[in-house]
Structure 1
Amino acid sequence: MIRIISIFVGLFFTASLLWSLTWDTIQLGKDGLPHTAAAAYGEHPKKLALASDGPFGKFDTAQLQRGFAVYQGVCASCHSLQHVSFGSLEALGYNPAEVKAIAAKATINAKDPLSGEMKDRPGLPADHFPPVVYAGKGAPPDLSLITKARHGGSAYIYSLLTGYEAEQPAALVKHFPDAKTPEGMYFNPYFGNLNIAMPAPITSDGQVTYNDGTAATKDQMAKDVSAFLVWTAEPELEKRHQVGVWWLGFLLFTTVLAYMAYRNVWAEKKGH
């Protein structure tokens, strides 16, 4: 009797689960249309291939220098890099004299060792990039770790910079009137809620000048600064890749060694 009751209980729960799955499928079919403007018109990040991608990826220092030039010429007036020191720029291929010159252009508010008072002085290689003083509402985010803080990483940054559109699609405004871009904001399908307060930073070709002669197109500048921000977020990426490859090789070697030892130890016993 107990066995029969157990079978019926099991059948009941199985039927309930199947009905639940069937009902959810039906509802998904009915509710297939997205209910928000972001779901309907938001775009996934474009594909972006960088030299640092993959387990064997390495930074392209020439591209990182170009990206730093874009940051200085386009982004630095609003966005800070407070987690990056000037001295770390040597990893991009700058020599100590160049790093010192770059740091000296910054103004650092620090304690005077003689008087103990806070005073402004030129930056030193040991200093971090100073915070940006922003007078408007809502200070723009620090970019040091931005590729780690945003889903899609560098691809999201690249897509956002190249995704500004002059006008919203007419169908979007028709179906989602509340999502119409407010005055003073800008439509960008790669941004979370489609409307962003930041105007397009990269507006024209040649906005910065590259020392290596690379054509500074809008697309190229967006790629280069995205690559640079990957480095600011994870400057140890190359070392991490190298250590990972070394450990994979070590584990492969020990696996082969263990297998050979196993064959050697058990060969005679298996023969019997």
Structure 2
Amino acid sequence: MKKTFILSAATAVTLAAGSAFAAGTGGHVTDYAFSFEGPFGSYDQDQLQRGLQVYTEICSGCHGLQYVPFRALEDLGYTDAEVRAYAENFFVPDTGPEALPGDERPAIPTDYFPGSALSNAPDLSLMAKARAGFHGPAGTGISQLVNGMGGAEYIASVLAGYTGEEQEQAGVILYENEAYGGYFAMSQPLWGDDVVYADGTEATLEQQAQDVAAFLMWAAEPKLEARKTAGITAVLFLGLLTVLLYLSNKKLWAPVKHRKENAPAE
């Protein structure tokens, strides 16, 4: 029987603007200090595990991670046995030779997270990456480059940005959100103490918002640390190469320059 999360269904996280019925005008986004920011930043494994717990207990009933394989959770510090046990909580289409249309089976590590259960619930696999350029001219992400703000800050700010104000439009209840900058059709999913963290961390509203935002950043950029390492290595190599080329150029052309300087005037 498929495992369901009642709380998830009641308070689905609808982060995409496409699910909103009222467009925002651009609100306040908090510049949270995530460990993975900057050229030398790296993921906080404990935070990612807490974010996975928030996703599992709050978000997964409606929202999917269809581009994330279960086996990738080993990067979060889980063992193969723990990943297998976790994957069995989800069901995926059974494509076996004896399977009938519509049959499902418990997931295994090589499977991917299921997609979203609701048509208006966006998949969260690339959400943090998609929102990374939410400010700056023409979505260029200039503010992210200069201020270190990106999709994770936006997601955390939205989750913690509800004012409690509501309004009804065309029979639909809309909820005001400071980070979104207006009203949209996403009821408040996090309230504080929604989960009991396995590591004993106090599950405040902002803590949960930052943890799940960090997890979604990892889901969108699982190889972020490797890319940073490769980038820093390339920059250092190019810098060293530039110095060597400059010195080589000076050495090769020094005799020619010296002859020109000592040549008799005509």
Name the TM-score, length of structure 1 as normaliser.
0.75
Which residue of 2 is the match for residue 229 of structure 1? Answer: 216
C-alpha distance in 2 between matches for 1:67 and 1:254: 42
1:264 counterpart = 2:245: no
Note the alpha carbon deviations across 1:113-169, whole angstroms, 9 max, x for none: 3x25342111100001112433xxx5211100001222241111011000001127x
C-alpha distance in 2 between matches for 1:251 and 1:124: 43
**Equivalent of 1:142 in 111, 123, 128:** 123
The runs of 5 or more residues in structure 2 that have no matched partner are: 1-21, 135-149, 260-266
Note the alpha carbon deviations across 1:20-66, whole angstroms, 9 max, x for none: xxxxxxxxxxxxxxxx9944xx4131112211111111111111001
Secondary structure of 1:201 counterpart: coil
Secondary structure of 2:94 counterpart: strand
**Equivalent of 1:47 in 25, 28, 31:** 31
Cα offset for 1:189?
A: 2.6
Q: 1:59 and 1:120, CA in 2 relative to 1: closer, same or farther beyond 3 A? A: same
Secondary structure of 1:143 counterpart: coil
Cα offset for 1:251?
A: 0.1
1:249 counterpart = 2:239: no
1:69-148 matches, within 5 Å, as: 69-113=53-97, 115-118=98-101, 119-134=103-118, 138-148=119-129
Q: Is the 8 A contact 1:86 1:125 kept in 2?
A: yes
The runs of 5 or more residues in structure 1 that have no matched partner are: 1-35, 169-179
Q: 1:244 and 1:103, CA in 2 relative to 1: closer, same or farther beyond 3 A? A: same
1:198 counterpart = 2:186: yes
C-alpha distance in 2 between matches for 1:239 and 1:117: 42
Q: 1:181 and 1:47, CA in 2 relative to 1: closer, same or farther beyond 3 A? A: farther
Which residue of 2 is the match for residue 25 of structure 1? Answer: none
List structure 1 runs of 4+ shifted beyond 3 angstroms.
36-39, 180-183
Cα offset for 1:108?
A: 1.3
C-alpha distance in 2 between matches for 1:181 and 1:157: 24
Bigger mean CA offset, 153-162 vs 262-271: 262-271
1:168-179 matches, within 5 Å, as: none
Amino acid paired to 1:191: Y
C-alpha distance in 2 between matches for 1:202 and 1:38: 20
Secondary structure of 1:185 counterpart: strand
Paired positions, count: 218
C-alpha distance in 2 between matches for 1:102 and 1:155: 28
Q: Is the 8 A contact 2:65 2:113 kept in 1?
A: yes
C-alpha distance in 1 between matches for 2:52 and 2:125: 12
Q: 1:37 and 1:245, CA in 2 relative to 1: closer, same or farther beyond 3 A? A: closer
Which residue of 2 is the match for residue 16 of structure 1? Answer: none
Amino acid paired to 1:79: H
Note the alpha carbon deviations across 1:208-228, whole angstroms, 9 max, x for none: 121222111111010010000
Q: Is the 8 A contact 1:181 1:195 kept in 2?
A: no
Amino acid paired to 1:244: G
Name the TM-score, length of structure 2 as normaliser.
0.77
Bigger mean CA offset, 78-87 vs 208-217: 208-217
**Equivalent of 1:61 in 25, 35, 45:** 45
Higher helix share: 1
Amino acid paired to 2:229: Q
Amino acid paired to 1:143: L
